[in-house]
Structure 1
Amino acid sequence: MDKPLDPDQSIELATRIKSKAKSSFQNASKAVSVVDGALYVQGFVACVGAPYKPIEHGWLELSDRILDPSLPHLNRKPEHIHYYPAQKLTAKQLRKALEEAQEDYPEDDPLPIYGSTPYEYYGDLMLGGKEYTQAYEAAVAKCAELNPRKNQNAQN
């Protein structure tokens, strides 16, 4: 069963951490340190409307719901957003991964985190392992379901 998005708490959390547009991974990274028991999640969202394809995204997950500190910046109704997790980290695991990434690649942004190499895909396609591929494919299917006319026109 998919966990529901909690829009009210997501907006409150976004305000609390001063979330920024186009920074879902950084927003989720900041938010996981202020929400007890939350997991930092990377994956994809599928939405009604443009861009008609999955968007790589970061959010938080609790045992019973999703908190998205980037929700105010998505400009969509909460019921039109569907989440497909690929990787989940505790706050402690995230801190360790960020420290390692900053040591290994100090000039690069450490987020998003894709796990250990070798990755399943390279180049412009996608980084990450099989979990990323599975989440991406599920999100592609949901995008097609949510936007049938747009996808039919793209195929013709």
Structure 2
Amino acid sequence: MHKVESPTRGDVDTKAAEAGSSMVFFPSQTTQKELDDIMDSARNGIGLAGSAAVGNVGPIVGAMDIGESDDAYLFRVSLPGVSRDENFSCDIDPDGTVFIKGVTTTGENTVCKHSQIFRMQTRNLCPPGHFSITFQLPGPVDHQQFKGNFGIDGMLEGIVKKR
């Protein structure tokens, strides 16, 4: 795992890129261009931004597995505490780049439920806020042939046909 303090400086460790997969943590205000530039130089990497990059408490947002069959790729991404609402999206580019964006809703200091206010004594879940995850599948895909399921268990599972 490699930590890049500021993607604007263009500091990409070429030895790390040659070594294989890497995980890159971005500042919360990273632009899409900065994210794309870093991910282009680390094609086997995973980019995390926002609350997914904090990783200092609770289960990490964005832990994932990738599988391959003769004609498709399968990916599973752990998204604990992520809302399945209009803020959530999962998009795939034809080159196999997967973009996931959303909002985590756990880990806050105060929780309002059933007309009651709870001040949390422990906060072991991932921090609340916006996040993005970007990773590269092993090859190009037919992004029109994507099937995804975001289960109540917090797992996003996607299958996309190879091109």
Which structure has more relative contact order (CA 8 Å, sep 6+)? It is: 1
Give the TM-score normalised by structure 1.
0.27
Higher strand share: 2
Give the TM-score normalised by structure 2.
0.26
Higher helix share: 1
- State the structure with more CA Rg: 2
